[in-house]
């Protein structure tokens, strides 16, 4: 079975550019989570969706970050404009419901220069 | 803030059991204990979870004390591929986000 798919796996961009990260959850999963991992802050939740509806976006750093889930099989996390402090590994995870175990994708390593 | 306390690092000999402790003294009645691990450069991987009773699956066993204030994750026969950071997470039955602490960096050595 295919797990959570994320693209791109690596992204290098210049400060001020728009960045779009993509995630395809496991088929049949109804909840989707975006996490960010840095050395300083560890793993932290940015936002999660349940049945394509955003439930908790309290972790989204600022207005430069936005996330969408137009359907059950696709989600995007957009940063515009990007800044060097956004450099991190971004993970997408999915689960059957928000109450059970989550399965993580391989992550997107973002570098903003 | 994470509700758990774990040792920052541990070593284990290959083939031996790895016992990873976790303290969660403020756990409440509706909170589960979850364990994840993260192998270098990969996404976190779900291992096991439990509420009160001990649990076992193909990856590991979870032993929860009777007062539920601490637990131990047991990898019965550790291999080099088990080298990873192991996270103990307390999460209520409403679900939602996982709050990751610093975890325990387990090194399995030949």
pLDDT tens track, chain B, 110 positions: 558 999 999 999 999 999 999 999 999 888 999 999 999 989 999 999 999 989 999 999 999 999 999 999 999 999 999 999 999 999 887 777 888 889 999 999 99
Q: Residue A39: closest CA among chain B residues belongs to which residue? A: B102
Q: Residue B37: closest CA among chain A residues belongs to which residue? A: A104
For the segment A51-106, what is each residue's pLDDT rounded down to a tens digit?
Answer: 999 999 999 988 999 999 999 999 999 999 999 999 999 999 999 987 888 999 99
- Strands (E) across chain B are located at 9-13, 18-23, 31-38, 45-50, 55-56, 61-64, 70-75, 84-92, 104-109
Q: Residue B38: closest CA among chain A residues belongs to which residue? A: A104
Q: Mapping DSSP to helix (H, G, I), strand (E, B) and coil, where does residue A19 land?
A: strand
What count of Cα atoms within 13 Å lies in the side-chain half-sphere of residue A27? Answer: 2
| pLDDT confidence bin for A1, thresholds 50/70/90 | low
Buried-exposed string B11-37: b where 16+ CB fall within 10 A, e elsewhere: ebeeeeebebebbbeebeeebbbbbbb
In this prediction, residue A99 carries a pLDDT of 80
CB B95 within 8 A of CB B69: no
A104 and B101 in contact by Cβ < 8 A? no
State the residue for tokens 């402790």: B21
How is residue A94 annotated by DSSP? E
Task: Walk across the sheet containing A19-24 and list its strands.
Answer: A5-7, A19-24, A74-79, A65-71
In this prediction, residue B92 carries a pLDDT of 80
For all residues of chain A together, what is the average pLDDT?
95
pLDDT above 80 for A113: yes
In this prediction, residue B2 carries a pLDDT of 55
CB A75 within 8 A of CB A65: no
Tokens of B91: 């999460």
Interface of A with B (CB under 8 A): 4, 31, 33, 42-45, 48, 55-56, 59, 91, 93, 97-107
> B97 to chain A: which residues are within 8 Å by CB?
33, 45, 48, 56, 59
- Cα A100 from chain centre: 19
């Amino acid at each position: 079975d295919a797990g959570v798919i994320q693209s791109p796996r690596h992204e290098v961009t210049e400060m001020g550019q728009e960045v779009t990260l993509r995630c395809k959850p496991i088929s049949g999963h109804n909840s989707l989570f975006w996490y960010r991992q840095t050395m300083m802050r560890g793993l932290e939740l940015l936002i999660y969706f349940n049945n394509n509806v955003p439930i908790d976006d309290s972790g989204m750093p600022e207005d430069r970050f936005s996330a969408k889930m137009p359907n059950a099989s696709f989600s995007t996390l957009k940063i515009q404009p990007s800044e060097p402090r956004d450099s991190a590994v971004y993970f997408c995870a999915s689960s059957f419901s928000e109450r059970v175990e989550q399965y993580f994708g391989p992550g997107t390593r973002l570098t903003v220069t | 803030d994470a509700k758990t306390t774990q040792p920052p690092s541990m070593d284990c000999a290959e083939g031996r059991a790895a016992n990873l402790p976790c303290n969660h003294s403020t756990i409440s009645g509706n909170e589960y204990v979850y364990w994840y691990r993260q192998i270098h450069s990969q996404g976190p991987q779900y291992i096991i979870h439990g509420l009160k009773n001990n649990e076992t699956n193909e990856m590991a066993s979870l032993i929860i004390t009777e007062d539920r204030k601490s637990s131990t994750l047991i990898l019965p026969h550790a291999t080099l591929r088990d080298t990873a950071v192991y996270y103990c997470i307390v999460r209520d039955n409403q679900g939602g986000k996982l709050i990751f602490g610093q975890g325990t960096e387990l090194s399995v050595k030949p």
